Amino acid sequence: MLDSFAAVMVRVVGFKELYEAWENQCRSTIENFKEGGENDESTADVKQTDWLERVPKVLCLQLNRLDYKDAEPFKHRHKVAIEKTIYVDRFMMSNSERSEQISNHVAKLREQIKMLELSIKEYTSFGGSDYDIRSMLALLGDFFEKQNEQDKINQDIQEIGTGQVKYHQPFKNQIAAGDKSKAAEAVKLMSKYQTQLSEQVTQMEQQVRDLESQIKAAFGIPEMQKQAYHLHSICVHDGNAMSGHYYSFIYDRLQKKWRKFNDIRVTEVQEEEVFQNSEGGHSWQTAYWLVYVEGSISSELEKLDIN
């Protein structure tokens, strides 16, 4: 049975992938649940999962990015990948047993990804800073290497106005002559460790990609890809938690084009722009509302001229 329309709020805070956020939204814990009879006062924390019994023709996902810090609301702007086609089979009551089996396996893979990403962050945000340790090593190596390229000038004197100023340059004779050989050795060490750390990051990034492929394949089996929904439109919020502006992208399935509807102005846009302005991670623009349509409606829209 198909309902005409359904809306699901999905909290995406802490998630970078739509399926994972939606799965988390469906799961909750009931604390101190009374399991026994009238005379049994024992309680336990019980996990609960919500399932879909029916599917709609039009499925809308409202992405919640709102959070609070010191009682003040703020909007998370991190990237959340938006799928052009989603399959709701994993959320169906009829698939609950098989879906739980796959989800338990996928949860372990996601945990491995999170551990790898934390390790990568130790390299790319060294010491909790905004600096990549590999770039820092490259700069240090550059510093030591350029010392040997400069002429021996202890300091320069330049006439300015009626007085004299003494100015120094970072790559001119910062290292004593007796330490030149040490500087050359330092260049080799910086290069060695930069290469070593880069290889480690590359290896971990590849492991993340491999695990993500395994996750995609886990739910990519035929029984979990029967109920397909295709992205039809996106409502974008451009602003912070307190204010902003809304506009929409709508896909013309007949002409295979995206259009941007911004107040009274309608323009054709490239698909790259649509997802860049919707997924987040680049600016204050993030998708607030995703509209998906099931296969039969998608087929009808492919024949419909909306111009």
- Tell me: do 22 and 65 sit in the same domain: yes
* Least confident window among 16-20, 50-54, 205-209, 301-305: 301-305
CATH, residue 84: 3.90.70.10
pLDDT at 153: 42
Pairing of the two strands 285-294 and 228-239 = antiparallel
- Tell me: do 198 and 260 sit in the same domain: no
Task: Tell me the pLDDT tens digit for each residue of 217-227.
Answer: 999 999 999 99
- Tell me: do 235 and 267 sit in the same domain: yes
> Mean pLDDT: which of 169-178, 180-189, 229-238 is highest?
229-238
- Tell me: do 149 and 85 sit in the same domain: no
- DSSP helix/strand/coil, 276: helix
> Residue 58 falls within a domain, yes or no?
yes
- Tell me: do 232 and 88 sit in the same domain: yes
- Tell me: do 17 and 79 sit in the same domain: yes
> Residue 241 falls within a domain, yes or no?
yes
User: Cα-flanking dihedrals φ and ψ of residue 49, to 5°?
Assistant: -125, 130
- In this prediction, residue 40 has a pLDDT band, given cuts at 50, 70 and 90, of low
pTM above 0.85, yes or no: no
239 strand-pairing partners:
244
Q: Identify the domain containing residue 131 by its residue range.
A: 126-215
pLDDT at 182: 76
Q: Of residues 71 and 251, which shows the higher confidence score?
A: 251
> Residue 35 falls within a domain, yes or no?
no
Domain limit, last residue, from 156, 181, 215: 215
Q: Of residues 117 and 174, which shows the higher confidence score?
A: 117
- In this prediction, residue 154 has a pLDDT band, given cuts at 50, 70 and 90, of very low
pLDDT at 42 over 80: no
Q: Of residues 300 and 61, which shows the higher confidence score?
A: 61
> Mean pLDDT: which of 3-12, 64-73, 180-189 is highest?
64-73
Task: Tell me the pLDDT tens digit for each residue of 244-257.
Answer: 999 999 999 999 99
pLDDT at 195 over 70: yes
Q: CB of 102 within 8 A of CB of 23?
A: no
Domain limit, last residue, from 192, 215, 238: 215
> Residue 147 falls within a domain, yes or no?
yes
> Residue 121 falls within a domain, yes or no?
no
Residue 246 in tokens: 């809304």
- CA 41 to CA 32: how far, in whole Å? 10
- Tell me: do 255 and 292 sit in the same domain: yes
**CB-side exposure of 206: number of CA atoms within 13 Å?**
6
DSSP secondary structure, 6-62, as one string: EEEEEE-TT-SBHHHHHHHHHEEEEEEEE-S-TT---EEEEEEE--BSSEEEEEEEE
pLDDT at 151 over 60: no
* Number of helices followed by number of strands (H, E) in the chain: 6, 14
**CA-based nearest residue to 230, from 304, 294, 168, 282:** 294
- Tell me: do 243 and 202 sit in the same domain: no
- Tell me: do 241 and 209 sit in the same domain: no
Q: Mean pLDDT across the chain, nearest whole number?
A: 85
> Residue 106 falls within a domain, yes or no?
no
Q: CB of 34 within 8 A of CB of 45?
A: no
pLDDT at 291: 96
> Residue 107 falls within a domain, yes or no?
no
Residue 8 CA, distance from chain mean position:
20
Task: Tell me the pLDDT tens digit for each residue of 85-133.
Answer: 999 999 999 999 999 999 999 999 999 999 999 999 998 988 888 888 8
- Tell me: do 23 and 73 sit in the same domain: yes
DSSP strand E in 201-272: where? Answer: 228-239, 244-252, 257-262, 265-269
Domain limit, last residue, from 158, 183, 215: 215
pLDDT at 170 over 80: no
Q: Of residues 127 and 199, which shows the higher confidence score?
A: 199
Report the number of distinct structural domains present in the chain.
2
> Residue 168 falls within a domain, yes or no?
yes
